[in-house]
């Protein structure tokens, strides 16, 4: 995967062609707030619950958690995820959490 180096605030990060962070270790909580602001989201405790679950789940699972996985394991109803991250919650959560875009099959 080709990555591009970009600056977000004072931070320099590597992202793919769609803007998703490619280096798990480059993410910080401060960066999450800046990434969220870029897509019009102000992070609340509820957002953080989902983001922290995604961050904790990724290293052991090796994939970005799906909405259903977040809902089942973190106890956040899917409907609420649509309220927190309107439109495309799976992609938006991954973007803010600094994880790869959720996979499709084809």
Contact residues for other proteins, defined by CB under 8 A:
61-63, 66-69, 72-73, 78-79, 81-82, 86-88, 91, 103-106
Q: Helix, strand or coil for residue 44?
A: coil
Taking the C-alpha atoms of residue 82 and residue 72, their distance in angstroms, rounded to an integer, is: 15
Q: Would residue 89 be called left, alpha or beta, if left means φ above 0 and alpha means ψ between -120 and 50 degrees? A: alpha
Beta carbon nearer to other proteins, 31 or 89: 89
Q: Which residues does residue 21 pair with via DSSP β-bridges, in sequence order?
A: 15
Beta carbon nearer to other proteins, 34 or 49: 49
Beta carbon nearer to other proteins, 10 or 103: 103
Known catalytic membership, residue 105: yes
CB of 3 to other proteins, least distance (A): 15
Structure tokens at 13: 């990060």
Among all residues, which ones are annotated catalytic?
A: 105
């Amino acid at each position: 995967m080709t990555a591009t180096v970009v600056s977000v605030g004072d931070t320099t990060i590597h992202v793919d062609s769609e803007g998703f962070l490619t280096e798990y270790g480059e993410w910080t909580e401060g960066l999450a707030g800046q990434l969220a602001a870029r897509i019009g989201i102000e992070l609340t405790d509820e957002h953080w619950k989902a983001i922290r679950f995604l961050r904790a789940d990724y290293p052991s699972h090796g994939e970005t958690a799906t909405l259903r996985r977040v809902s089942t394991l973190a106890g956040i109803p899917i409907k609420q995820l649509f309220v927190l991250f309107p439109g495309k919650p799976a992609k938006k959560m991954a973007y803010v959490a600094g994880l790869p875009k959720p996979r499709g099959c084809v």
